[in-house]
Structure 1
């Protein structure tokens, strides 16, 4: 299978093949990577996106004058930091312990942090959470599903 065919095949098993391919193509190593290498690249993308979510949320938490938004973000900024660190740790788990351990880092440790805040925001419809935060949360959730989809190839 050619390298591009492998990327297309691996990404076809994820919920967002287009985002998956964009992520994998963002790293030149994807051209010669095996499936484990592609999984590592997807983890790097997820970590990067989760870091942006954490940074943007922390800045908003620190600077907002809206007390309701501040209180809501008080429950989430540190969860987004935890999600970032847990996505990143999935790479170490994959290297040290294999794909099952990496999947656990995503499903047990990272995804619940994002889901908690997503649910919290839905339960607080009167609080104006900026669209970029919602969008970034959705990207990180999708990143996690892409990582799991790639890990399912092992």
Structure 2
């Protein structure tokens, strides 16, 4: 008889749902956590670390795309906007993500929340640049 090594608890979905309902973007939270199998077997702190890891991954992907666009354009106005976005995403990766991770690991969720809100502000700033 073959059994899965993953242990699922009846309250897993409830914990994810109730945690995501407390965020500014519950649908995005649910999508992110439900796509990660580790979310089913962790606590609230673990869920927060999964979200921070998702921010890190998406920021890395975006930064790589921005760098590719910088290399591919000669338009000074567009290059300036892209450099600004590059700096924003570098700030997320070098400042906000490590701060949030450390804060969660040391039991200071309010600092983690502050860092994640800053990462949202940085990404929104990049999105708001007039090209």
TM-score greater than 0.5 by the shorter chain? yes
Establish whether residue 42 from structure 1 lines up as the match of residue 51 from structure 2: yes
CA contact (8 A) 1:11 1:17 kept: yes
Larger Rg: 2
Partner of 2:110: 100
CA contact (8 A) 2:29 2:51 kept: yes
Partner of 1:13: 22
Instruction: Give me the whole-angstrom Cα distance separating, in 2, the residues matched to 1:17 and 1:96.
Output: 25
Deviation at 1:97, TM superposition (A): 4.7
Structure 2 vs 1, CA of residues 14 and 33 (structure 1 numbering), >3 Å: closer, same or farther? same
State the Cα RMSD in Å: 1.9
Q: Which moved more, 1:2-11 or 1:109-118?
A: 109-118
Instruction: Give me the whole-angstrom Cα distance separating, in 2, the residues matched to 1:19 and 1:114.
Output: 15
**TM-score between both structures, scaled by the size of structure 1:** 0.69
Instruction: Give me the whole-angstrom Cα distance separating, in 2, the residues matched to 1:67 and 1:94.
Output: 41
Partner of 2:13: 4
Structure holding more helix per residue:
1
Deviation at 1:27, TM superposition (A): 2.0
Partner of 2:72: 63
Deviation at 1:74, TM superposition (A): 1.9
Instruction: Give me the whole-angstrom Cα distance separating, in 2, the residues matched to 1:102 and 1:39.
Output: 9
Instruction: Give me the whole-angstrom Cα distance separating, in 1, the residues matched to 2:17 and 2:65.
Output: 32
Write the deviation string for residues 84-113 of structure 1: whole angstroms up to 9, x where unpaired.
233421112210251022123233x53443
